[in-house]
Amino acid sequence: MTTKTKIGVIGCGNISGIYLQADKVFEILDTVACADIVMEKARAQAEKHHIARACTVDELLGDPEIEIVVNLTIPNAHYEVAMAAVAAGKSVHNEKPLTITREQGKALLAAAKAKGVRVGGAPDTFLGGGIQTCRKLIDDGWIGEPIGATAFMTCHGHESWHPAPEFYYKVGGGPMFDMGPYYLTALVNLMGPVQQVSGATRVTFPTRTITSQPLHGTIVEVEVPTHVVGTLEFANGAVGTIITSFDVWAAELPRIEIYGTEGTLSVPDPNTFGGPVRVRRAGASEWSEIPLTHGYAENSRGIGVADMAYALHSGRPHRANGDLAYHVLDIMHAIHDAADAGQRVTLESTCERPAPLPLGLRKGVLDA
């Protein structure tokens, strides 16, 4: 029988619901508390998801039984809350991005190492059946040696549907820091770390008018680039392109494609867990859809937390780890830095490709 790992969730906003259901999927998790600076939110989520306790942040951090804190606060609070969790002797899994600045990210990883606890970071979508299938295809040589990649995330922003979209246009937001982590994490998982980048950015609309409720009519001043283009030079020699934009009304671009010496791999939306996964190999006249080799094709946010829990028990590295999350943070900053400077930027960081999930795992279990 799996020994349960007690977790607490800080931040009871839009994304918290799926994390609060994770212990219904992954048998190693036991969600015992949730907290928010607005206690009404914490109480509502605790009641809805049958969590034993809604409490303050300080009360949650003071609970000696909680081993992992899931930090779902807004980006500007990621560092402060994560550092408080580490100081309390707890491992922490941050929502993306890991932190706002590189300096904060380095300080968080150093503090965790000194305290003997772990840091993880979203997204964990790369552990889903879709991208794990793509990883296996690449590792098994289906497209030969990867030589290039493209990644596209284009939309017109969040002010038409999100109840509080202001932070998407403030420091720590923007399309690269909001959605880039999904695409870059998938690419690093599939292709390995990035060594150099170049970039170009622009702000198309200096203000945004919220049309969703309850802030309908509020005008937001845009503080960050909203159309970001980057070139990625991977350590394995492959070259990639990424575009993230909140300025595009419509597009017919793929999400991610990986180009190899023996074929092309079409990667599913990295903001989801499933397929479709398609391959067109050299000489083929059409694409072939590949059945998923791994489970967790449904919305499985929290799989990274569960993987950390298993790793705490076994001592192995966890996959959605702090080094990976920091490398993605470094890439995003480097693209913006390159755009500002008008020159290529060499990355300070690197990381290992996370180990692929084993085949044939029983539902709800992540270690064979």
Peptide bond into 270 cis (omega under 30): no
Q: Which residues contact 332 (CB under 8 A, 6 or more apart)?
A: 97, 176, 177, 180, 181, 184
Q: Which residues contact 103 (CB under 8 A, 6 or more apart)?
A: none
Q: At residue 68, does pLDDT exceed 60?
A: yes
**pLDDT, tens digit (0-9, with 9 covering 90-100), for 134-149:** 999 999 999 999 999 9
**Residue 163 or 264, more confident:** 264
The CATH number of 126-289 is 3.30.360.10
Q: Which amino acid is at 365?
A: V
**pLDDT, tens digit (0-9, with 9 covering 90-100), for 231-258:** 999 999 999 999 999 999 999 999 999 9
List strands edge to edge, sheet with 146-154: 288-289, 278-281, 263-267, 256-260, 146-154, 239-245, 227-234, 194-202, 345-346
Q: Which residues pair with 288 in a beta bridge?
A: 279
- Distance, CA of 240 to CA of 265 (rounded, Å): 14
**pLDDT, tens digit (0-9, with 9 covering 90-100), for 186-222:** 999 999 999 999 999 999 999 999 999 999 999 999 9
Q: At residue 14, does pLDDT exceed 90?
A: no
The pLDDT value recorded for residue 172 is 86
Percent of the chain past pLDDT 70, that is, above it, reads 100
Q: At residue 331, does pLDDT exceed 80?
A: yes
- Would you say 336 and 228 are in contact if contact means Cβ atoms under 8 Å apart? yes
The pLDDT value recorded for residue 11 is 98
Helix axes 322-341, 102-115, angle to 10 degrees: 160
Give residue for tokens 């246009």: 169
- Would you say 189 and 354 are in contact if contact means Cβ atoms under 8 Å apart? yes
What mean pLDDT do residues 294-311 have? 98
Q: At residue 304, does pLDDT exceed 60?
A: yes
Question: pLDDT confidence of 25, banded at 50, 70, 90?
Answer: very high
Q: Where are the domains of the chain?
A: 5-121, 126-289
What mean pLDDT do residues 322-333 have? 98
The pLDDT value recorded for residue 221 is 97
The CATH number of 5-121 is 3.40.50.720
At 50, is the secondary structure helix, strand, or coil?
coil
Give residue for tokens 């720590």: 172
Q: At residue 24, does pLDDT exceed 70?
A: yes
- Distance, CA of 17 to CA of 46 (rounded, Å): 10
The pLDDT value recorded for residue 272 is 98
Domain 5-121 and domain 126-289, same fold? Reply is no
- With residues binned 3-state (H G I as helix, E B as strand, rest as coil), the percentages for the chain, rounded to 5, are 35, 25, 45
The pLDDT value recorded for residue 368 is 76
